[in-house]
Amino acid sequence: MAGKKFRVLYLGPQERGTHNPASTDPQSRAVREVGGEFVPYTGSSEGELIEALKDSDVAMAAGHRFSPGLFSHMGNNGRCKGLVSFGHGFDGMDLKTAVENGVILANTASFGTEEVSNQTMMHFLVCTRKFVLHDKLVKRGIWTREHLAPMGHVAGETFGIVGLGNIGRAVARKARAFGLEVIAYEPYKSSWDAKEYGVELVGTLDELATRSDYVSIHTYLNDETRHMIGAAFFNKMKPTAYLINCARGPIVDEKALIQALQNKKIAGAGLDVFEKEPVDPGNPLLKMDNVSVTNHYASYSEVAWERANTQLGEEAVRIALGYWPMSLINPDVRHTVEPRKDAVEWRVLKAKLKGK
């Protein structure tokens, strides 16, 4: 294994200019550690990219657009067996086409779990303590206690989570530290697994909406979850409850959210994401004193970004050498490709490949 040569094609951000070798140290680290060849892509056309894929065992994309048509030159149709993309989300990927062509897709899930869960709890505190409004008042020279009520006690209140993946579980852990009761809607997890995290699973979104004092979204975006949170959901929420979204903007029907806030159906919202990004400066959400907003940076910290880029290389090595990736995002591809070895933790795999 140690002597097996493989080639990894790196597709960097398209907005950048000439490739800077110093900027790809974390992305290439795992590849170099086990003797692979790391090749930055320098072409500018789809035809050039197709040619580059023909000579690579796997590709990694860090902010580079990737057309679904390219999958017909990969997987069962060529040397390049998979694509690893930067980040948590994969709504920009055509999973169905990848499966049909036997292309293995992975991402760098978990790299920013702590950051996103921290951002969630920040929005939660900003909302429940009415920080946006009172920060503005004090800065305008207004010292008043007229706008305090209603204000949640937090301890003993109910925190509802939509999606109990890596980030959802981290949020649950932190919410419990505040003394919150945690419930979650997660159709793809068992009740006994949720119990390990001190979370009660509920059977419907309606129940979660009805019971929660705070609702936080932590699911991926696909056809099933687009506009999952809309007018019907807001009508079920308490008028004193808050919505927090640090996942993907289109999971929430933004027009319905604006109407719910304007009609006082809910107390407020904390948002890191929007349906349209960059957000329109005229968006009513930006003018509301009961809405906290950030510009889709929840997953960022220098440590997290370094980890994500390092994971790109680790997943690329796994795919190139016949292993499943840790963060497989199109599991149905298992039925359209030749059998592979199970995913192995990086330090163990590296020692194995080096014969130690």
Provide the annotated active-site residues: 248, 277, 296
**DSSP β-ladder status, 242-245 and 214-217:** parallel
Q: Which long-range contacts (CB under 8 A, 24 or more apart) does 43-47 make?
A: 46/70
228 touches 254 (CB < 8 A): no
| Count of Cβ atoms closer than 10 Å to residue 96 Cβ | 12
Residue 266 and residue 247: Cα distance in Å, rounded?
A: 20
Residue closest to 326 by CA, chosen among 77, 66, 82, 38: 82
Q: Which amino acid is it at 201?
A: L
Residue closest to 44 by CA, chosen among 78, 11, 77, 87: 11
Can you tell me whether residue 138 is helix, strand or coil?
helix
Burial of 167 (0-12, 13-18, 19+ CB in 10 A): buried
| Count of Cβ atoms closer than 10 Å to residue 195 Cβ | 11
Cis peptide bond N-terminal to 150, omega within 30:
yes
